Structures are given as C-alpha cells and as structure tokens.
Amino acid sequence: MKQEILTLGEQINAKELKFAKFKLLADQEKNEVTIIKGSKFLRIRYNKNTDLYDLQKGRIKKFDIIQQDFEKGFYSDMLQKQIEEYFNFEYVMESIKIVGVNC
C-alpha cells in the first residue's frame, strides 16, 4: 500500500473508525480514503501539490451519490475534528471508552 494512504490512515485513526463499524475504502491511485457510515460518506483526498487534504461530503441515496459539500485545504491535524463533526462521532468514541476499550 502507498505510504500516503498509510499515513492518512494513521491521521484519521482508522483503527478506531473500524472498531466503531465505519466502512473505509482506500483508492491508492487517487490518494484518497472514503469513510462511510449509514448513508453518509466523507471522502478525504491528499493533494500532493499543496500538501493539504480536500474533503468531499455527501450521501448515498439508493444508487446515486449526492454531493453535499466540497472543501479544500485542510491540514492533517484538522481531519479528526471534521470526521467527528460530520458523523457526530464523539458520542461513539465516548461509549467505547465507557465500555473500557482503549483506542
């Protein structure tokens, strides 16, 4: 697997996301990872030219992809907060900690 994808996986805490039953799809050619939970998706693409990340937010409805938002220029330390806000993920992580699983 390409180093960019492995680094992105570390930056978004891929292990925690998988534990919380999120689906993760990696596309090595495009340097992107798509996170899916229910009908919502968040696609994170690494832009080599700017050394920043671009985010595409949307929903999957039946067999159509509906793009809701596309934002450019995120630093790696901003990604986790964007994931938490978009998926309302904070309550999931709190419940994992209450059960006693260390992530």
CB 46, CB 90: distance < 8 Å: no
In a domain, 97, yes or no: no
Average pLDDT, consecutive stretches of 10 residues, N- to C-terminus, the chain (103 residues): 82 83 90 91 92 93 83 91 82 53 48
Query: What does residue 21 show for φ and ψ, rounded to 5 degrees?
Result: 70, 30
What are 60's strand-pairing partners?
A: 65
Flag whether 101 is in a domain.
Answer: no
Residue 27 lies in a domain: yes
Q: Which helix (H) or strand (E) holds 14?
A: helix 14-19
Residue 98 resides in a domain: no
> Could you tell me the residue range of the domain that residue 25 belongs to?
3-91
User: Is residue 21 one of the residues assigned to a domain?
Assistant: yes
Whether residue 9 lies inside any domain: the answer is yes
Residue 83 domain flag = yes
Q: Report pLDDT for 90.
A: 59
Residue 16 lies in a domain: yes
Distance between CA atoms of residues 103 and 31, nearest Å = 25
Counted domains in the chain = 1
Query: According to the model, what pLDDT value does residue 88 have?
Result: 81
